[in-house]
Protein backbone atom coordinates (compact mmCIF):
# COMPACT_ATOMS: atom_id res chain seq x y z
CA UNK A 1 0.00 0.00 0.00
CA UNK A 2 1.61 3.25 -1.13
CA UNK A 3 0.30 6.39 0.50
CA UNK A 4 -0.25 9.67 -1.38
CA UNK A 5 1.11 12.21 1.10
CA UNK A 6 0.21 15.75 2.05
CA UNK A 7 1.44 16.56 5.49
CA UNK A 8 4.17 18.06 7.64
CA UNK A 9 7.42 16.94 9.23
CA UNK A 10 9.55 18.38 12.00
CA UNK A 11 12.92 19.86 11.08
CA UNK A 12 14.34 17.83 13.98
CA UNK A 13 13.99 14.57 12.05
CA UNK A 14 17.03 14.83 9.75
CA UNK A 15 19.23 15.02 12.84
CA UNK A 16 17.94 11.71 14.20
CA UNK A 17 16.98 9.62 11.17
CA UNK A 18 19.48 7.65 9.07
CA UNK A 19 19.13 5.56 5.94
CA UNK A 20 18.46 1.88 6.72
CA UNK A 21 17.23 2.60 10.25
CA UNK A 22 15.17 -0.30 11.57
CA UNK A 23 12.60 -0.31 14.35
CA UNK A 24 9.14 -1.33 15.45
CA UNK A 25 5.74 0.19 16.06
CA UNK A 26 5.88 0.94 19.79
CA UNK A 27 2.39 2.20 20.64
CA UNK A 28 -0.86 2.68 18.73
CA UNK A 29 -3.56 5.16 19.70
CA UNK A 30 -6.90 6.27 18.29
CA UNK A 31 -5.47 8.83 15.87
CA UNK A 32 -1.71 8.24 15.94
CA UNK A 33 1.13 5.83 16.65
CA UNK A 34 4.78 5.86 17.68
CA UNK A 35 7.67 4.09 15.97
CA UNK A 36 10.77 3.22 17.99
CA UNK A 37 13.85 3.82 15.83
CA UNK A 38 17.51 3.75 16.93
CA UNK A 39 17.76 7.46 17.79
CA UNK A 40 14.19 8.73 17.97
CA UNK A 41 10.66 7.77 19.00
CA UNK A 42 8.93 8.88 15.80
CA UNK A 43 5.37 10.12 16.21
CA UNK A 44 2.99 9.69 13.27
CA UNK A 45 -0.15 11.78 13.78
CA UNK A 46 -3.03 13.30 11.89
CA UNK A 47 -3.14 16.78 10.43
CA UNK A 48 -5.82 17.83 12.90
CA UNK A 49 -3.36 17.59 15.78
CA UNK A 50 -0.34 19.71 16.58
CA UNK A 51 2.87 18.61 14.86
CA UNK A 52 5.27 17.02 17.32
CA UNK A 53 8.95 17.90 17.15
CA UNK A 54 9.45 14.13 17.10
CA UNK A 55 7.34 13.39 14.09
CA UNK A 56 5.13 13.89 11.10
CA UNK A 57 1.47 14.58 10.41
CA UNK A 58 -0.56 13.04 7.61
CA UNK A 59 -4.08 13.74 6.27
CA UNK A 60 -6.85 12.49 8.54
CA UNK A 61 -8.18 9.95 6.02
CA UNK A 62 -4.69 8.50 5.55
CA UNK A 63 -4.25 8.17 9.30
CA UNK A 64 -7.59 6.40 9.71
CA UNK A 65 -6.37 3.69 7.33
CA UNK A 66 -2.92 3.51 8.88
CA UNK A 67 -4.13 3.19 12.45
CA UNK A 68 -6.43 0.43 11.26
CA UNK A 69 -3.51 -1.47 9.72
CA UNK A 70 -0.62 -1.11 12.15
CA UNK A 71 -0.08 -3.15 15.30
CA UNK A 72 2.41 -2.91 18.13
CA UNK A 73 5.54 -4.78 17.13
CA UNK A 74 5.22 -4.32 13.35
CA UNK A 75 8.66 -4.05 11.73
CA UNK A 76 9.58 -0.62 10.32
CA UNK A 77 12.46 0.29 7.97
CA UNK A 78 13.61 3.66 6.67
CA UNK A 79 15.08 3.47 3.16
CA UNK A 80 15.96 6.62 1.22
CA UNK A 81 13.44 8.82 3.09
CA UNK A 82 10.67 6.25 2.84
CA UNK A 83 9.19 4.53 5.86
CA UNK A 84 8.15 0.94 5.21
CA UNK A 85 5.81 -0.57 7.79
CA UNK A 86 5.40 -4.33 7.55
CA UNK A 87 1.85 -4.83 8.82
CA UNK A 88 0.12 -8.20 8.96
CA UNK A 89 -2.01 -7.28 5.94
CA UNK A 90 0.36 -5.37 3.67
CA UNK A 91 3.49 -3.27 3.45
CA UNK A 92 2.74 0.41 3.98
CA UNK A 93 5.02 3.01 2.41
CA UNK A 94 5.21 6.60 3.67
CA UNK A 95 7.37 8.97 1.65
CA UNK A 96 8.86 11.65 3.90
CA UNK A 97 10.32 13.77 1.09
CA UNK A 98 7.13 15.59 -0.02
CA UNK A 99 6.12 16.50 3.53
CA UNK A 100 6.41 20.21 4.32
CA UNK A 101 9.22 20.80 6.81
CA UNK A 102 8.25 22.92 9.82
CA UNK A 103 10.83 24.71 11.97
CA UNK A 104 10.21 23.59 15.54
CA UNK A 105 13.49 24.77 16.99
CA UNK A 106 13.02 26.82 20.15
CA UNK A 107 13.69 30.46 19.17
CA UNK A 108 15.95 32.79 21.13
CA UNK A 109 13.73 35.55 22.50
CA UNK A 110 14.68 38.96 23.87
CA UNK A 111 12.53 39.60 26.97
CA UNK A 112 9.95 42.35 26.53
CA UNK A 113 8.45 43.42 29.89
CA UNK A 114 5.03 44.32 28.45
CA UNK A 115 4.78 40.98 26.61
CA UNK A 116 5.81 38.99 29.69
CA UNK A 117 3.27 40.93 31.77
CA UNK A 118 0.51 40.10 29.27
CA UNK A 119 1.50 36.42 29.27
CA UNK A 120 1.64 36.31 33.08
CA UNK A 121 -1.86 37.76 33.40
CA UNK A 122 -3.25 35.04 31.11
CA UNK A 123 -1.33 32.25 32.84
CA UNK A 124 -2.48 33.43 36.27
CA UNK A 125 -6.09 32.96 35.18
CA UNK A 126 -5.67 29.28 34.33
CA UNK A 127 -7.37 26.74 36.66
CA UNK A 128 -4.19 24.97 37.74
CA UNK A 129 -5.64 23.93 41.11
CA UNK A 130 -8.38 21.79 39.56
CA UNK A 131 -7.09 20.77 36.12
CA UNK A 132 -3.49 19.71 36.62
CA UNK A 133 -2.14 16.19 36.98
CA UNK A 134 -0.69 16.27 40.50
CA UNK A 135 -3.90 17.30 42.23
CA UNK A 136 -3.98 15.88 45.76
CA UNK A 137 -0.22 15.31 45.81
CA UNK A 138 0.92 18.91 46.21
CA UNK A 139 -0.17 22.34 45.01
CA UNK A 140 0.74 24.24 41.83
CA UNK A 141 2.03 27.17 43.87
CA UNK A 142 4.26 24.87 45.91
CA UNK A 143 5.77 23.47 42.71
CA UNK A 144 6.40 26.97 41.33
CA UNK A 145 7.98 28.15 44.58
CA UNK A 146 10.17 25.05 44.77
CA UNK A 147 11.42 25.56 41.21
CA UNK A 148 12.07 29.26 41.78
CA UNK A 149 14.03 28.56 44.96
CA UNK A 150 16.21 25.89 43.33
CA UNK A 151 19.52 27.59 42.63
CA UNK A 152 22.36 25.23 43.55
CA UNK A 153 23.08 21.94 41.78
CA UNK A 154 21.86 20.04 44.85
CA UNK A 155 18.57 21.94 45.01
CA UNK A 156 17.97 21.55 41.28
CA UNK A 157 18.76 17.84 41.45
CA UNK A 158 16.27 17.43 44.31
CA UNK A 159 13.53 19.30 42.43
CA UNK A 160 14.04 17.37 39.20
CA UNK A 161 14.13 14.07 41.10
CA UNK A 162 10.80 14.93 42.71
CA UNK A 163 9.11 15.84 39.42
CA UNK A 164 10.72 13.31 37.07
CA UNK A 165 8.26 10.54 36.15
CA UNK A 166 5.75 11.72 38.78
CA UNK A 167 2.13 11.28 37.82
CA UNK A 168 0.18 9.05 35.47
CA UNK A 169 -0.33 8.88 31.75
CA UNK A 170 1.72 8.74 28.59
CA UNK A 171 3.65 11.81 29.73
CA UNK A 172 3.64 12.04 33.55
CA UNK A 173 2.67 15.46 34.89
CA UNK A 174 6.03 16.14 36.52
CA UNK A 175 7.77 15.61 33.19
CA UNK A 176 5.36 17.97 31.40
CA UNK A 177 6.11 20.62 34.03
CA UNK A 178 9.84 20.17 33.43
CA UNK A 179 9.38 20.44 29.65
CA UNK A 180 7.53 23.75 30.04
CA UNK A 181 10.07 25.17 32.46
CA UNK A 182 13.12 24.12 30.44
CA UNK A 183 11.55 25.48 27.25
CA UNK A 184 11.39 28.95 28.82
CA UNK A 185 14.97 28.67 30.10
CA UNK A 186 16.08 27.85 26.56
CA UNK A 187 13.96 30.43 24.75
CA UNK A 188 15.14 33.30 26.93
CA UNK A 189 18.66 31.90 27.29
CA UNK A 190 18.48 32.00 31.08
CA UNK A 191 21.84 31.23 32.65
CA UNK A 192 20.46 28.60 35.04
CA UNK A 193 19.71 26.28 32.13
CA UNK A 194 23.40 25.36 32.33
CA UNK A 195 22.60 23.78 35.70
CA UNK A 196 19.13 22.37 35.01
CA UNK A 197 19.89 20.57 31.74
CA UNK A 198 22.95 18.55 32.91
CA UNK A 199 21.13 17.55 36.10
CA UNK A 200 18.14 16.35 34.07
CA UNK A 201 20.33 14.36 31.68
CA UNK A 202 22.11 12.75 34.63
CA UNK A 203 18.83 11.81 36.33
CA UNK A 204 17.41 10.40 33.08
CA UNK A 205 20.36 7.99 32.91
CA UNK A 206 19.57 6.60 36.33
CA UNK A 207 15.78 6.83 36.65
CA UNK A 208 12.90 5.73 34.45
CA UNK A 209 9.88 7.44 32.99
CA UNK A 210 7.73 6.58 29.94
CA UNK A 211 9.44 6.30 26.56
CA UNK A 212 7.31 9.10 25.14
CA UNK A 213 8.04 11.43 28.05
CA UNK A 214 11.78 10.71 27.93
CA UNK A 215 11.76 11.48 24.20
CA UNK A 216 10.11 14.87 24.73
CA UNK A 217 12.47 15.78 27.57
CA UNK A 218 15.48 14.93 25.38
CA UNK A 219 14.00 16.93 22.50
CA UNK A 220 13.56 19.96 24.77
CA UNK A 221 17.18 19.80 25.91
CA UNK A 222 18.18 19.47 22.24
CA UNK A 223 16.30 22.71 21.54
CA UNK A 224 13.03 21.58 19.93
CA UNK A 225 9.37 21.88 20.89
CA UNK A 226 5.87 21.15 19.59
CA UNK A 227 4.12 23.26 16.98
CA UNK A 228 1.64 24.74 19.49
CA UNK A 229 4.38 25.80 21.90
CA UNK A 230 6.46 27.15 19.01
CA UNK A 231 3.49 29.29 17.95
CA UNK A 232 3.34 30.82 21.43
CA UNK A 233 7.10 31.43 21.51
CA UNK A 234 7.04 33.09 18.08
CA UNK A 235 4.20 35.28 19.30
CA UNK A 236 6.23 36.34 22.35
CA UNK A 237 9.21 37.03 20.12
CA UNK A 238 7.20 39.26 17.78
CA UNK A 239 5.60 41.16 20.66
CA UNK A 240 2.07 40.58 19.33
CA UNK A 241 0.15 40.34 22.60
CA UNK A 242 -3.27 40.02 20.91
CA UNK A 243 -2.73 36.33 20.08
CA UNK A 244 -1.11 35.15 23.30
CA UNK A 245 -4.35 33.92 24.88
CA UNK A 246 -5.30 31.89 21.79
CA UNK A 247 -1.93 30.13 21.76
CA UNK A 248 -2.04 29.46 25.52
CA UNK A 249 -5.51 27.92 25.23
CA UNK A 250 -4.34 25.79 22.30
CA UNK A 251 -1.55 24.35 24.47
CA UNK A 252 -4.02 23.73 27.29
CA UNK A 253 -5.92 21.31 25.01
CA UNK A 254 -2.99 18.84 24.96
CA UNK A 255 -4.12 15.50 26.38
CA UNK A 256 -6.07 15.18 29.64
CA UNK A 257 -3.82 17.34 31.85
CA UNK A 258 -0.59 17.49 29.81
CA UNK A 259 -1.29 20.94 28.40
CA UNK A 260 -2.10 22.42 31.80
CA UNK A 261 0.98 20.79 33.34
CA UNK A 262 3.15 22.14 30.52
CA UNK A 263 1.73 25.62 31.08
CA UNK A 264 2.47 25.36 34.80
CA UNK A 265 6.12 24.79 33.90
CA UNK A 266 5.99 27.75 31.54
CA UNK A 267 4.46 29.83 34.35
CA UNK A 268 7.36 28.92 36.65
CA UNK A 269 9.84 29.76 33.90
CA UNK A 270 8.26 33.15 33.19
CA UNK A 271 8.14 33.94 36.93
CA UNK A 272 11.84 33.07 37.12
CA UNK A 273 12.60 35.32 34.15
CA UNK A 274 10.61 38.25 35.52
CA UNK A 275 12.31 37.86 38.89
CA UNK A 276 15.70 38.00 37.20
CA UNK A 277 14.67 41.09 35.27
CA UNK A 278 13.50 42.82 38.45
CA UNK A 279 16.76 42.04 40.22
CA UNK A 280 18.74 43.39 37.27
CA UNK A 281 16.79 46.66 37.35
CA UNK A 282 17.32 47.04 41.08
CA UNK A 283 21.03 46.63 40.63
Whether 3 shows a pLDDT value over 80: the answer reads no
Alpha carbon of 242 to those of 119, 196, 235: distances in Å?
Answer: 10, 32, 9
Q: What confidence score (pLDDT) does residue 192 get?
A: 94
Quick one: which H or E segment has residue 35?
Answer: strand 33-37
Whether 280 shows a pLDDT value over 50: the answer reads no
Whether 78 shows a pLDDT value over 60: the answer reads yes
Average pLDDT of the segment spanning 36-48: 95
Alpha carbon of 6 to those of 3, 58, 61, 100: distances in Å?
Answer: 9, 6, 11, 8
Q: What confidence score (pLDDT) does residue 276 get?
A: 62
Whether 4 shows a pLDDT value over 70: the answer reads no
Nearest to 181, CA basis, from 279, 62, 262: 262
Q: Given pLDDT bands bounded at 50, 70 and 90, which one contains residue 150?
A: very high
Average pLDDT of the segment spanning 179-198: 96
Tens of pLDDT, residues 82-121: 999 999 999 999 999 999 999 999 999 998 999 999 999 9
Q: What confidence score (pLDDT) does residue 279 get?
A: 46
What length is written for the chain? 283
Q: What confidence score (pLDDT) does residue 137 get?
A: 86
Tens of pLDDT, residues 58-67: 999 999 999 9
Nearest to 107, CA basis, from 195, 183, 56: 183
Q: Given pLDDT bands bounded at 50, 70 and 90, which one contains residue 256?
A: confident
SS3 197: helix
The CA distance from 87 to 56, in Å, is 19
Whether 277 shows a pLDDT value over 80: the answer reads no
Query: What's the mean pLDDT when you consider all of the chain?
Result: 93
Q: What confidence score (pLDDT) does residue 168 get?
A: 83
Q: What confidence score (pLDDT) does residue 5 get?
A: 58
Q: What are the beta bridge partners of residue 83?
A: 78, 94
Task: Enter the DSSP assignment of 242.
Answer: G
Tens of pLDDT, residues 223-232: 999 999 999 9
Average pLDDT of the segment spanning 150-168: 96
**The model scores a pTM over 0.95:** no
Task: Enter the DSSP assignment of 152.
Answer: S
Amino acid sequence: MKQPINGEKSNMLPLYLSNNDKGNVKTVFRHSFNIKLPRILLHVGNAGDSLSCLGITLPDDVMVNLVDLVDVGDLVRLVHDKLYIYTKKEIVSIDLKPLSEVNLRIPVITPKPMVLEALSIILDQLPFETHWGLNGVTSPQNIIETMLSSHSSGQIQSTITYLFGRGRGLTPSGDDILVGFLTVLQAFNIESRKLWEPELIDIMQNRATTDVSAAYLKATVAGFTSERVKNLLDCLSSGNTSQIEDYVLAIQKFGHTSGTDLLLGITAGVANLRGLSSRDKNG
